[in-house]
């Protein structure tokens, strides 16, 4: 009896001891299934969707649909008024075989991009090196002053530069004539090469502070110890820039170059305000060329060769895509070389 | 030691001189235009001296009244403010939902929005966008552009907001949920005040971009000159004047740039921050 009772008691106590664990286990398991079943809380789901709704609609209406639209109309002869006819690959064939102006504008875009990068990146790098020197007390002041061009609109900048570079009694012409570099006034914006130069210069003026800031961040990231040890090894300051700073900031440099490159190939505003493609289309860049076909040379007529321009847009986008991929591949190869 | 210090001092002086030279070069176009904006047309054409021999502030009055810059300024102010408010709202809500919301399809939507960053169509999608706006009868005013800005948002802003919110402790949200705050209630009452620095950055950049934007505003306001913004007004002034009328165009340029320069002087920390984001905006 006693034994039995004891045993029973023992049994009992065992079960008593086990029960709470079992219960905990049970509730945990139940909670797990609950979590699995109701991973999403209904009210949160609804509120999230409602909050995102404008963006989702906007994504389809203003991001995806225009691309689809262009793709679709690039196979038609749509002109903005008459019914569009399907013409197959005709626009593309015409673009590749007959349209020299398009390819000239592509060429100008490349020239402009190279000009701008050659001016902008060294300038931004030098300024960043100067601004980064430890002993500079007035860094914030210089930084703020150098950043000022970034708040100027492209139309205002166009005014400023066409005023500086005007042919008769323009400041630059007067200056160059006083020094004796040129004998007679140069019509900067009326010649292809000088016009492209002024456009690149203005574009540089408007965006170099951003690249300067990127360089500043990269340079600040190079540890001092590297410089110190190089100094001990008798490394001169110029050598230090080329052997330490530049290789150390190479990853950032690639990103900066990438952004500058993809930003500049889409250039349109700067060209529009300074030359509007002139003289006679010689400074046309590809985006401006397409814009003019889309909207007609003056906005009043409203008739452009929409289908043709659409085909041009597709080709341009593909070209930019190829450029980007090529660039990424190339930099990867360069990485392996080092 | 003293020789080293001397060299060091010389180096600093060199840096200061070079930087000052750069600053002068960079600011020169603005200063020159500012000085010239007070000259008479004759003096501008002669182009002799830097400062005007006689100051003519009435150039500004002419631009302000006759060239309709008062109207343009007002339009720009409304356009830029509305764009700013809506893009702050749209982007911050979006960033919050992507950070804290749990709903089916979150990853897909997020991925799709990110992918659009890499589509380099540039200004070529303007025409179809205009077609859509004309279906909505919004192609003749700036409101359509404000709608587009609100609905597309900027992925760079969304990234920033999302990253910032993810760095905030979740416990605050949970405490608020227990107190009976709804999901969006948490955003407006708790998260929004916490992400103020980012809001300021977004506000500054979207305001600046809208203020300076001109290609699309020019297209939608082409038949409606009364609704033009400063950037558009300035451009059309440059295009339409037969002989370059600098005594009107230069004050116009300064009028269009000055408000932002003033804002920049007071908020330049946010401007500089916002530009780093804007560069990767795509």
Determine contact: A221 vs chain B, CB below 8 A: no
Residue of A nearest to B249 (CA): A159
CATH number 1.10.510.10 given to B62-279: no
* pLDDT given for residue A198 in this prediction: 93
Q: Which residue of B has its CA nearest to A292?
A: B124
Which residue(s) pair with A86 in the sheet?
A: A76
pLDDT of residue A45: 87
Which tokens is B218 given? 């020019």
Q: Does A309 touch chain B (CB under 8 A)?
A: yes
Distance of alpha carbon A17 from its chain centroid, rounded? 66
Question: What is the phi-psi region of residue B105: left when phi exceeds 0, alpha when psi lies from -120 to 50, beta otherwise?
Answer: left
A39 touches chain B (CB under 8 A): yes
Task: Return d(Cα A245, Cα A226) in angstroms, integer.
Answer: 9
* Model pLDDT for residues A69-117, shown as the tens digit of each residue: 889 888 988 877 777 788 888 889 888 888 888 899 999 999 999 999 9
Q: Which residues are within 8 A (CB) of B79 and not within 5 positions of it... i.e. 6 or more apart?
A: B142, B145, B146, B210, B211, B217, B229
Interface pTM, i.e. ipTM:
0.87
Distances (CA, A) of A212 to A147, A150, A154: 9, 12, 20
- Strands (E) in B145-215, as ranges, are none
Q: Any idea where the domains of chain B sit in the sequence? A: 2-36, 62-279
pLDDT digits (tens, 9 = 90+) for B45-63: 777 778 888 888 888 888 8
Q: Does B112 touch chain A (CB under 8 A)?
A: yes
> What is the per-residue pLDDT for A5?
42
Question: Hey, what are B107's tokens?
Answer: 């990853």
Q: How high is the pLDDT of residue A301?
A: 53
Q: Give residues 134 to 163 of B whose Cβ lies within 8 Å of A.
A: 148, 150-153
Judged by a CB distance cut-off of 8 A, whether residue B113 touches chain A is yes
Q: Which residues of chain A have pLDDT under 50?
A: 1-18, 20, 34, 36-37
* CB contact at 8 A, A285 and A112: yes
Q: What is the pLDDT of residue B221?
A: 85
Task: Say yes or no: A45 contacts chain B, CB-CB below 8 A.
Answer: yes
φ and ψ of A86, to 5 deg: -75, 125
CB contacts of A151 in chain B (<8 Å) are 208, 212, 257, 260-261, 263-264, 271
Q: Rounded to 10 degrees, what is the CA torsion of B258, B259, B265, B268?
A: -120
Contact B102 A294 (CB under 8 A): no
The per-residue DSSP string of A218-232 comes to: HHHTS-HHHHHHHHH
Q: In this complex, do A294 and B126 lie within 8 Å of one another by their Cβ atoms?
A: yes
Peptide bond into A279 cis (omega under 30): yes
Taking only residues 188 to 217 of chain A, the set having a beta carbon closer than 8 angstroms to any beta carbon of chain B reads 205, 209-210, 213-214
What confidence score (pLDDT) does residue A337 get?
62
Going A306 to B120 to A67 to A60, the CA torsion angle's sign is negative
Q: Which residues of A touch B123 (CB under 8 A)?
A: 266, 268, 287, 290-291
A100-337 maps to which CATH number?
Answer: 1.10.3720.10
Nearest-angstrom CA–CA distance, A227 and A218: 15
Contact A327, A253 (CB under 8 A): no
Looking at residue B23, its pLDDT comes to 92
* Domain chopping of chain A, boundaries: 1-39, 100-337
- Distances in Å between the Cα of A3 and the Cα atoms of A10, A13, A152 are 10, 14, 97
Min Cα distance A319 → chain B (Å) is: 10
Q: Cβ of A147 and B234 within 8 Å?
A: no
Kind plus residue range of the DSSP H or E element containing A82: none
* Token pair recorded at residue B109: 């939507």
Give pLDDT < 50 ranges for chain B.
Answer: 281-282
* pLDDT value at residue B277: 62
**A163 in Cβ contact with B246 (< 8 Å):** yes
3-state secondary structure of A198: helix
């Amino acid at each position: 009896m006693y034994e039995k009772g004891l045993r029973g008691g023992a049994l009992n106590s065992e079960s008593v001891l086990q029960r709470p664990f079992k219960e905990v286990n049970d509730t945990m398991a139940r909670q797990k299934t609950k979590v699995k079943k109701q991973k999403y809380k209904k009210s949160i789901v609804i509120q999230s969707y409602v909050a995102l709704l404008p963006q989702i609609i906007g994504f389809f209406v203003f991001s995806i649909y225009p691309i689809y639209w262009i793709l679709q109309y690039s196979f038609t002869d749509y002109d903005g008024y008459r019914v569009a006819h399907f013409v197959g690959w005709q626009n593309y064939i015409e673009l590749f075989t007959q349209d020299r102006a398009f390819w000239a504008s592509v060429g100008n875009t490349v020239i402009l991009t190279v000009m701008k990068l050659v001016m902008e990146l060294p300038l931004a790098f030098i300024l960043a090196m100067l601004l980064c020197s430890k002993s500079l007390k007035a860094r914030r002041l210089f930084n703020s002053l150098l950043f000022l061009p970034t708040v100027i609109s492209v139309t205002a900048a166009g005014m400023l530069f066409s005023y500086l570079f005007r042919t008769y009694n323009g400041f630059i012409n007067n200056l160059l004539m006083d020094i004796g570099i040129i004998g007679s006034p140069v019509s900067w914006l009326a010649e292809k090469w000088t016009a492209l130069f002024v456009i690149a210069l203005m574009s540089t003026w408007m965006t170099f502070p951003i690249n300067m800031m990127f360089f500043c961040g990269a340079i600040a990231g190079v540890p001092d110890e590297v410089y110190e040890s190089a100094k001990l090894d008798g490394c001169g300051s110029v050598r230090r820039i080329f052997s330490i700073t530049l290789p150390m900031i190479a990853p950032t440099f690639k990103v900066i170059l990438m952004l500058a490159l993809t930003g500049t190939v889409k250039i349109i505003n700067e060209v529009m305000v300074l030359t509007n493609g002139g003289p006679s289309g010689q400074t046309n860049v590809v985006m401006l060329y397409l814009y003019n076909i889309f909207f007609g040379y003056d906005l009043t007529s409203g008739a452009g060769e929409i289908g043709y321009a659409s085909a041009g847009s597709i080709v341009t986008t593909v070209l930019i895509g190829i450029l980007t991929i090529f660039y990424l591949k190339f930099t990867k190869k360069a990485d392996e070389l080092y | 030691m003293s020789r080293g210090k001397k060299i060091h001092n010389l180096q600093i002086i060199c840096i200061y001189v070079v930087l000052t030279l750069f600053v002068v070069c960079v600011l020169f176009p603005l200063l020159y235009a500012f000085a010239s904006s007070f000259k008479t047309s004759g003096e501008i054409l002669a182009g002799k001296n830097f400062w005007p021999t006689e100051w003519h502030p009435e150039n500004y009055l002419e631009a302000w009244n006759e060239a309709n810059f008062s109207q343009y300024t007002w339009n720009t102010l409304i356009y830029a403010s509305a764009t700013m408010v809506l893009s702050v709202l749209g982007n911050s809500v979006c960033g919050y939902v992507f950070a804290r919301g749990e709903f089916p399809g979150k990853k897909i939507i997020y991925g799709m929005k990110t992918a659009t960053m890499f589509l380099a169509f540039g200004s070529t999608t303007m025409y179809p966008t205009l077609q859509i706006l004309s279906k909505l009868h919004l192609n003749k005013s700036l409101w359509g552009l404000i709608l587009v800005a609100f609905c597309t948002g900027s992925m760079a802003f969304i990234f920033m907001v999302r990253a910032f919110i993810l760095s905030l402790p979740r416990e605050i949200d949970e405490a608020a949920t227990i107190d009976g705050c709804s999901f969006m209630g948490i955003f407006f009452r708790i998260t929004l005040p916490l992400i103020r620095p980012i809001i300021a950055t977004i506000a500054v950049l979207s305001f600046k971009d809208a203020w300076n934007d001109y290609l699309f505003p020019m297209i939608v306001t082409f038949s409606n000159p009364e609704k033009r913004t400063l950037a558009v007004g300035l451009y059309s002034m440059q295009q339409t004047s037969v002989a370059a009328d600098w005594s009107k165009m230069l004050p116009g340029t300064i009028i269009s740039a000055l408000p932002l320069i003033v804002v920049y002087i007071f908020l330049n920390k946010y401007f500089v921050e916002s530009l780093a984001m804007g560069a990767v905006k795509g």
